Amino acid sequence: MGGHAFKSHAGITFPRMQPPTYLALKQHCVSRLRKLYLHVVVPPEAPEKATYGDLDLIVAIPLDGPESGVNVRDSVGAALGAELSFSENAHLGNFALALSTIAVDADSADSGDDGGHGDSFGLGEGVYAQVDVRQCELDELGMALLMSSYGDMGMIMSLLFRLHGLHLGTKGLKLKTPQGTLPLSTDAQAILAFLGLSPEPYTGEDHVFRTRASAFDWIATSPFFRPQRFRAKIEQCLKRYKRLANREMFQAFINYLDEGIEADFWGSGKSELNGDGEDVDKDKDKERTINKALDFFEARAAYEALVGSSGLPLGTKWMEVLRPNEQDLH
């Protein structure tokens, strides 16, 4: 179900949307937001989704200029024809649109003229869809898309980095140390290159993931993929963030790991455990990866300036006790 931002409003419902409803809503919102912003993007949806709970959009560069005073809650809400809105700040807005007002006819939606033209969904009063709009700077757009595309794939990539002592979020890739946080990169393409992953799924409709398995197989091609360690990290996260167990794609990834480990799908080349089932190389693996990251992103001098003469070697136990913020999972 969508509508989580409006759960306190009685008498309205947010049913999951069938693909035709979702497509018409997307066309309606994109066409109207293009009158306000130069860049309007809908992140690729999670593969194999049969229904949709809400619609997410990312926008950048107001057409009237950065000083135009475009406010997501006010200007965007009016452009979309939202009846209800909620916003934690001026750059992020949640909107409730009555589905009975959204035209199914694609031409009508593209023109932005829904006033009586095209067929409506014929839904009764009080049936809405939630639309979430995030406004970002142009140089933030790549990271926003990387972290919000394909359902839970951004979160899965974040966990992959955390296996190696690094932290990925909407603000980029970072290394956290006792002396402070060292930014490594905000370039989504460079981050994928470091992971050894093809950028094609994020470059156009011709290369999008059509199935969950194709997305999971893609991330498993990374030389930093460690299936057993990945599974153990997920188990830790499930204990701390119980809501993750209800995320369909995340649960599918857990099943993917379990089945692959059971079948020895990745072979000894991807195994981290010795003959006694012990992961004896975890800290050395972290140290190697962090060293590679410092060189790849040309951040070694900045790292040495940050840590000074602390004497803490890379990959030591302090990385284990630095607990990430929950927002790092998004």
The predicted-structure confidence for 222-272, as pLDDT tens digits, reads as follows 999 999 889 988 988 888 887 887 888 999 999 999 999 888 888 755 555
- Higher-confidence residue of 1 and 84: namely 84
Residue 320: pLDDT above 80? no
pLDDT, tens digit, 9 for 90 and up, residues 154-210: 999 999 999 999 999 999 999 999 889 999 999 999 999 999 999 999 887 677 899
pLDDT recorded at residue 71: 65
| Range 90-95 average pLDDT | 88
Residue owning tokens 């857990």:
254
201-205: long-range contacts, CB 8 A cutoff, minimum separation 24: 201/44, 201/149, 201/150, 202/44, 202/145, 202/146, 202/149
| Range 69-96 average pLDDT | 84
Rounded distance between C-alpha atoms, residue 195 and residue 161, angstroms: 9
| Range 292-319 average pLDDT | 75
pLDDT recorded at residue 219: 96
CB atoms under 10 Å from CB of 101, counted, come to 15
Residue 322: pLDDT band (50, 70, 90) is: very low
pLDDT recorded at residue 241: 82
pLDDT, tens digit, 9 for 90 and up, residues 99-149: 988 865 444 444 444 444 334 554 567 899 999 999 999 999 999 999 999
Average pLDDT, the chain: 82
Question: Do residues 70 and 62 lie in contact, with contact meaning Cβ atoms separated by under 8 Å?
Answer: yes
Rounded distance between C-alpha atoms, residue 193 and residue 172, angstroms: 14
Describe the strand order of the beta sheet including 180-185 as a list of residue ranges: 167-169, 172-177, 180-185
Sorted by where each starts, the structural domains of the chain and their CATH numbers stand as: 4-136 (3.30.460.10), 142-329 (no CATH)
Work out whether strand 54-62 and strand 128-136 pair parallel, antiparallel, or are unpaired: parallel
pLDDT recorded at residue 125: 74
pLDDT recorded at residue 12: 86
Question: Do residues 306 and 175 lie in contact, with contact meaning Cβ atoms separated by under 8 Å?
Answer: no
Residue 83: pLDDT band (50, 70, 90) is: very high
pLDDT recorded at residue 185: 97
pLDDT recorded at residue 102: 84
Residue 325: pLDDT above 70? no
Residue 283 CB partners (closer than 8 Å, separation 6+): 315, 316, 317
